[in-house]
Amino acid sequence: MKILITDIHHGNGGGHATYVMSLLRGLPTHYDITVAAPASGRLFRYASHAGRGKVMPALYSSRIAPLAKEIVKLRAFLAQERYDLVHVNASADHRHVMLASMGLRHPPKIVWTKHNLKPVASVGHRLRAKLGTDAVIAVSDYVRRMLQDSVYESKPIYVVRHGIDMAAFRPVDLAEKRRLRKLLLGDIPDDTLVLGSTAGTDLEKGWLDLVAAVAGLSVQEQSRIVVVVAGDPPRGDLVRRLADTGVQARVHFTGLVDDIRGVLGASDIGFVLSYSESLSYACREALACGLPTIITDVGGLPENLSHGREGWIVPVKDVAAIQAVLHEVLSDPRRLQPMGQAARRHSESAFCPHAFIEQTTAVYESVRS
């Protein structure tokens, strides 16, 4: 099968880059794969060094003049290459592929993965559902329910959750944890509770709610906590809000890192306190590394763990609830070990990368037949 996988992201790309790279590395070798993404994006760089398939620069503009040129170019490319299937991952690339495919003698099948919780009621979605979608992949049950109550209700909808590489994301031993902490944070006391997140620094990722919870602790309790956030440097207004809490010294930003395992290996607890989340690679990777993880009760996030067993589920934006978890752990840090072991066991059984690939290929084969 000849497959084109598209992505729209410049810069980081977040979970989209992880998702496409998981496909590129895991899909059967008899699939002929091309990735089409902006040359300025992390995905383009990663895919170019993956040693699998072809990578081509592509843009998916919304302004009419460049949009028209891009679609003409894409149409010629599709006509020349005669892909069996195009796997689109956002609205803009979905639109481009739909328009470029219209009237082709051999149009490709189009599979769309819904990665977020944004509404799907626009005119654009109505057109894409009717004219440019053969199947939809939902990354969680929550997303599936959204789609079943939308303009995509008549299309085949499949739930395929993210798989995690269990060999790459795994717990570290105590000596390695100490080494990673020293590398990341310098010399800190062994009993410091390090809470780490690789979900990014956007306001919607909820890290400031954790900071607010830390700010509400006693000075002695604050001194036992460090919050680590990986991702692009936070915006200036968020840095000012952090300064207003008075605990900025307890927060460490790593910047954007290619290998997030060092951040997770240095941490005791993971956190993804998002205001909107379809599933979350960051949560699953933390759990796979044996980190009990604090998450919010939004979207598909609660599908990742059981409250009190592999982590904690708190109401979104509920600083008091987050603070209660911190009190609980600070008063009895020994409970982290069995919770971390449970997190790893759960990850091994529920986040299988082979299942992710098998289920995705089943979708591909279903639309091809």
Give tens-digit pLDDT for 210-239: 999 999 999 999 999 999 999 999 999 999
Characterize the bridge pairing of strands 54-57 and 32-37. Answer: parallel
pLDDT of residue 369: 82
Domain boundaries defined on the chain: 2-163+352-368, 174-350
Residue whose C-alpha is closest to residue 297's, from 149, 287, 283? 283
Burial class (CB in 10 A: 0-12, 13-18, 19+), 5: buried
Whether 169 has a pLDDT exceeding 90, the answer reads yes
The yes-or-no answer to whether 2-163+352-368 and 174-350 have a common fold is yes
Give tens-digit pLDDT for 78-94: 999 999 999 999 999 99
pLDDT of residue 164: 98
Whether 173 has a pLDDT exceeding 90, the answer reads yes
Average pLDDT, the chain: 98
Q: Which CATH class is domain 174-350?
A: alpha beta
Give tens-digit pLDDT for 239-295: 999 999 999 999 999 999 999 999 999 999 999 999 999 999 999 999 999 999 999
Whether 11 has a pLDDT exceeding 90, the answer reads no
Select the more confidently predicted residue: 203 or 369. Answer: 203
Residue whose C-alpha is closest to residue 85's, from 109, 56, 118? 109
pLDDT of residue 212: 99
| Single-letter amino acid code for the residue at 219 | V
Residue with token string 């956002």: 90
CATH entry 3.30.1330.60 includes domain 2-163+352-368:
no
Task: Quote the CA–CA distance of 86 and 97 in Å, as a whole number.
Answer: 8
The pLDDT of 59-71, averaged and rounded, is: 97
Give tens-digit pLDDT for 26-48: 999 999 999 999 999 999 999 99
Q: Mind spelling out the 3-state secondary structure of 62-81?
A: CCHHHHHHHHHHHHHHHHHH
Which of helix, strand or coil describes residue 54?
strand
Backbone angles phi, psi at 65, to 5 degrees: -60, -55
Termini Cα distance of the chain:
11
